[in-house]
Homo-oligomer: A and B are copies of this chain.
Amino acid sequence: MSDTHNERATLHDVARVAGVSLATVDRVLHDRGGVRSRTIERVQSVVERLGYRPDPAAARLARKSVARLAFVLPSGTNTFVDMLDKQVQAVAPWLAEQRASAVVQRADVFSPEALARDLAALRGRCDAAVVMGLDHPRVRAAIDDLVTHGVVVVTLVSDVPASRRSRFVGIENVTAGRTAATLLGRFVGPRAGSVGIVLGSRALRDHAERLFGFEQVMGTEHAHLKLLPPIEGHDLSQRTEPLVTKLLQRTPDLVGLYSIGAGNRGIQAALERSGRAEHIVWICHELTPHARQALLTGVADAVINQDAGHEVRSACRLALAALSGERVLPDQERIRIDIFLRDNMP
């Protein structure tokens, strides 16, 4: 007989082989402390040798407490954020089965101070925090502080890579920007002209990264198109609409428009009112009901999307896995850069 058994090793096996009790193995596994370091080593070596993996079903069943997840999402009127919010409500029954619960909190994401304060307030009130926020030293510090106090932090949509968050759930935004550029360039075709860019704020990491990827590909692959300086619309339709209207007026040769962030209703209105929507390739992000409409009417030519449902489920799975040491299937957690045309909308 070899050391690799056909049957999975159980806690009992580990305890027996290590010559200790179930409770001690459990203490070591969840480092709850109160175990001699020699014992710890012995148990760990047995765990290793037996290739022990806890059975998640059994763990869930036995667990008394529920894991508390807190989602921190931007306040305001962003439709995509509302979709995320709804998806959190939608996973509630599933979470309950996993002995977990989730609440959503809205925070002023454009203000590092406010966000940092809200994050600090989470300490002790949740076991894991899923945060969509801006990449700023204050925010990074707040995240690190949470992690120090044992809270699992997962960043969502927009990463804070320098922080000690355990995971990021979202798309690769540089790649998304490159994808937008390729689509826009190919859709415009051989025509010459200018291309406009609208973003929420350069302080948002996802926006900055998309811009970077977009400019990269436009510069090298579609150099005959002239990139106009980006416009900042703060993700608000009331601000993007007049800005884009002015852009249209002063740029008669506009052939393409890339909208990096939110505020797409304003852009759509401006494009439609100008009567030039047909001749301008417009690419935006996130398949909200409005974007869907714009795609159907032909005002938008492509929408690059990240699946809100997938992101929320993934964030939950990763947070719970980090809390309980469960296995994750990395493949399943990769968020895709979805491209939607009029034809392949779900």
Q: Which residues of A contact B (CB under 8 A)?
A: 8, 55-58, 60-61, 90-91, 93-94, 96-97, 175-176, 178-179, 181-183, 186-187, 189-190, 213, 217, 301, 307, 309-310, 313, 327, 329, 331-332, 334, 336-339, 341-344, 346
Contacts and interface: CB of A to CB of B under 8 A. Distances in A.
A235 to B, nearest CB: 23
Nearest to A301: B186
A339 B339 contact: yes
Contacts of A337: 344
The dominant DSSP class at the A interface is helix
Nearest 6 Cβ contacts at the A-B interface:
A189-B189, A178-B343, A339-B339, A179-B344, A57-B57, A337-B344
Contact of A61 (B57, B94, B186, B341): B57
Contact of A342 (B94, B182, B346): B182
A144 to B, nearest CB: 30
Contacts of A58: 57, 61
**What is the oligomeric copy number?**
2
Contacts of A8: 96
A338 B309 CA distance: 16
B332 A313 contact: yes
Contacts of A332: 309-310, 313
A70 to B, nearest CB: 21
A273 to B, nearest CB: 25
Contacts of A182: 341-343
Contacts of A346: 334, 336
A309 B179 CA distance: 23
Contact of A176 (B60, B190, B331, B344): B344
Contacts of A189: 189-190
Nearest to A94: B329
A65 to B, nearest CB: 15
16 contacts: A56-B57, A57-B57, A57-B60, A57-B61, A57-B97, A58-B61, A61-B61, A90-B331, A175-B343, A179-B343, A181-B343, A182-B342, A217-B343, A337-B344, A339-B339, A339-B344
Contact of A183 (B93, B190, B310, B341): B341
Given A175-B343, A178-B344, A182-B341, 5 more contacts: A61-B61, A182-B343, A217-B343, A307-B336, A336-B346
